[in-house]
Amino acid sequence: MSVITFGELAVELLPRETVLEGLERAGQRIPNSCRSGVCQSCLMQALDGEPSPQSQRGLKQTLARQGYFLACQCQPEGDLEVALPNEVLREFQTQVVGKTQVADDVLVLRLELPDGFACRPGQYLNLAVDEVLRSYSVASVPERDGYIELHIRRVPGGRLSNWLHDQCEPGAACTIRGPLGECFYLAEDDSDFPILLAGTSTGLAPLEGILRDALHQGHRGPITLIHGALRREGLYHGDKLRELAALHPNFTYLPAVRDEGESGDVALLLQQRFAQNPAKNTRVFLCGAPELVNSLRRQVFLQGAASSHIHADPFVMAPAPKVN
Ligand SMILES: Cc1cc2nc3c(=O)[nH]c(=O)nc-3n(C[C@H](O)[C@H](O)[C@H](O)COP(=O)(O)OP(=O)(O)OC[C@H]3O[C@@H](n4cnc5c(N)ncnc54)[C@H](O)[C@@H]3O)c2cc1C
Ligand code: FES
């Protein structure tokens, strides 16, 4: 069995236990959120020994070469000496400067933009309050707007989302780490390529950021944003998006309410819009509920989108605790 050394502590991992689980069993608090290898909040560094290849999947090569790995994915073959990362993901202190309820279960939160925090709309950051750390996507264009906007869905029983909805007030201090993720607009030699953006609920956050960034950078190709919700009240920011569509003839906003027939089917709308655009150069951005994002990703790939042009951010949450 592998022995994990963390400072003064040495923990022998149980069969199939990850480094994160082993250290938690020994009473250590290691930052984590999705526990599925997506959010990178459990990043650690191996000072001695080899982390498993699986635990370095998705990390930048420069990080992997320095021994960084995701503790929630690491079941090493041998012993490891590990440490928490220092300066890899920069940490910034900030505060809440605005809070608006935009739907029953969705809150728009504005954070002060800390000096030196450079991020692209659509990327995500890890927000930490009192040692609880979760990922949220950036909906604003921070360098132009001067603040960071996040959209927070209330998850029943969820620790951070409920605290943000019910207790957090303007002035509350928090820490952000990042930015992370590859879901953002990249102006290329020409700006004529079609863009399709699709997501449900707060999946709108990164999509709205990408949309505004693309329009601001003068994107000329057609842009379609499909926003799905369970009920009409969940289609927050509809007025803003309709205003943008009226100002920019190349932008189409398609709200979709489930249970309202074909017009409410995000997958069908995406399929139809994709069929209207030349497949190979269309850029597709998919964000929100993991099952939907993964099935839409498959769908557009099978329709002919190049995999390098499909950008997806599934909002993976920690698995529910096991009930014995
Ligand atoms: C890359 C990335 C980007 C993200 N961006 C956003 C974003 O922009 N906006 C956003 O709102 N979220 C986003 N998320 C999700 C977010 O990080 C948190 O997971 C979410 O806010 C829940 O955190 P919590 O502390 O409230 O819940 P936790 O305390 O982590 O608890 C969540 C628990 O509830 C369970 N659960 C999930 N759904 C339900 C449900 N419907 N009913 C009951 N239980 C449920 C989960 O399995 C889990 O065990 C993103 C996630 C990732 C990985
Ligand atoms: S990547 Fe490990 S907790 Fe999210």
pLDDT tens for each residue of 11-52: 999 999 999 999 999 999 898 989 999 888 899 999 999 999
CA 17 – ligand 1 centroid, Å: 23
Q: How far apart are CA 263 and CA 205, in angstroms?
A: 22
Residue 109 lies in a domain: yes
Kindly tell me if the per-residue pLDDT of 98 is higher than 80: yes
Kindly tell me if the per-residue pLDDT of 122 is higher than 90: yes
Whether residues 40 and 59 share a domain: the answer is yes
**pLDDT average, residue stretch 59-84:** 91
Kindly tell me if the per-residue pLDDT of 157 is higher than 90: yes
Locate the ligand 2 atom nearest the alpha carbon of residue 37 and give its number: 1
Instruction: State the pLDDT at residue 261.
Output: 73
Say which residue, 41 or 215, is predicted with more confidence.
Answer: 215
Whether residues 102 and 79 share a domain: the answer is no
Whether residues 230 and 143 share a domain: the answer is no
Using a 6 Å cutoff on CB, does residue 126 contact ligand 2? no
**pLDDT average, residue stretch 7-11:** 93
Kindly tell me if the per-residue pLDDT of 179 is higher than 70: yes
Residue 39 lies in a domain: yes
User: What CATH code is carried by the domain that includes residue 109?
Assistant: 2.40.30.10
CA 15 – ligand 2 centroid, Å: 20
Kindly tell me if the per-residue pLDDT of 204 is higher than 80: yes
Kindly tell me if the per-residue pLDDT of 88 is higher than 70: no
Locate the ligand 2 atom nearest the alpha carbon of residue 40 and give its number: 1
CA 139 – ligand 2 centroid, Å: 22
CB-CB contact of 281 with 193 (8 Å): yes
**pLDDT average, residue stretch 217-231:** 95
Residue type, 225: L
Using a 6 Å cutoff on CB, does residue 94 contact ligand 2? no
Kindly tell me if the per-residue pLDDT of 302 is higher than 70: yes
Bridge partners, residue 9, by sequence = 6
Whether residues 28 and 129 share a domain: the answer is no
Q: What is the DSSP string of 222-251?
A: -EEEEEEESSGGG-TTHHHHHHHHHH-TTE
Please give the C-alpha separations between residue 200 and each of 76, 209, 230, 236, 272, in angstroms, as whole numbers.
37, 15, 9, 11, 17
Whether residues 78 and 96 share a domain: the answer is no
**Residue of minimum CA distance from atom 7 in ligand 1:** 136
Which of 83, 113, 130 delimits the end of a domain?
A: 83
Bridge partners, residue 152, by sequence = 107
Buried b (16+ CB within 10 A) or exposed e, 245-262: beeeebbebbbbbeeeee
**pLDDT average, residue stretch 198-225:** 96
CB-CB contact of 169 with 163 (8 Å): no
Q: What is the mean pLDDT of the chain?
A: 92
Whether residues 96 and 164 share a domain: the answer is yes
Residue 55 lies in a domain: yes
Which of these, 137, 138, 142, 132, lies nearest to 164 by C-alpha position? 132
Residue 48 lies in a domain: yes
The residue whose CB lies within 8 Å of the most ligand 2 atoms, and thus the one to mutate among 18, 41, 88, is: 41
Instruction: State the pLDDT at residue 62.
Output: 76
Residue 281 lies in a domain: yes
Kindly tell me if the per-residue pLDDT of 66 is higher than 90: no
Q: How far apart are CA 112 and CA 109, in angstroms?
A: 10
Residue ranges making up the domain that contains 268: 195-314
Residue 104, CA atoms < 13 Å, CB-side half-sphere: 8
Whether residues 79 and 95 share a domain: the answer is no
How many domains, the chain? Answer: 3
pTM of the shown model: 0.87
Q: How far apart are CA 192 and CA 69, in angstroms?
A: 39
Whether residues 30 and 111 share a domain: the answer is no
Kindly indicate the confidence band of residue 87, based on its pLDDT and cuts at 50, 70 and 90. low
Using a 6 Å cutoff on CB, does residue 205 contact ligand 1? yes
Residue 272 lies in a domain: yes
Minimum mean pLDDT range among 146-155, 267-276, 315-324? 315-324
Using a 6 Å cutoff on CB, does residue 3 contact ligand 1? no
Whether residues 247 and 139 share a domain: the answer is no
Whether residues 77 and 120 share a domain: the answer is no
**Residue of minimum CA distance from atom 52 in ligand 1:** 315
Say which residue, 189 or 172, is predicted with more confidence.
Answer: 172
Residue 25 phi, psi (nearest 5): -60, -30
User: What CATH code is carried by the domain that includes residue 38?
Assistant: 3.10.20.30
Which of 36, 52, 83 delimits the end of a domain?
A: 83
Residue type, 52: S
Give the DSSP letter of residue 107.
Answer: E
Residue 247 lies in a domain: yes
Using a 6 Å cutoff on CB, does residue 56 contact ligand 2? no
CB-CB contact of 114 with 94 (8 Å): yes
Which of these, 30, 33, 157, lies nearest to 84 by C-alpha position? 30
Locate the ligand 2 atom nearest the alpha carbon of residue 72 and give its number: 2
Instruction: State the pLDDT at residue 29.
Output: 87
Which of 83, 99, 127 delimits the end of a domain?
A: 83
Instruction: State the pLDDT at residue 321.
Output: 64
The residue whose CB lies within 8 Å of the most ligand 1 atoms, and thus the one to mutate among 105, 135, 201, 286, is: 135
Residue 17 lies in a domain: yes
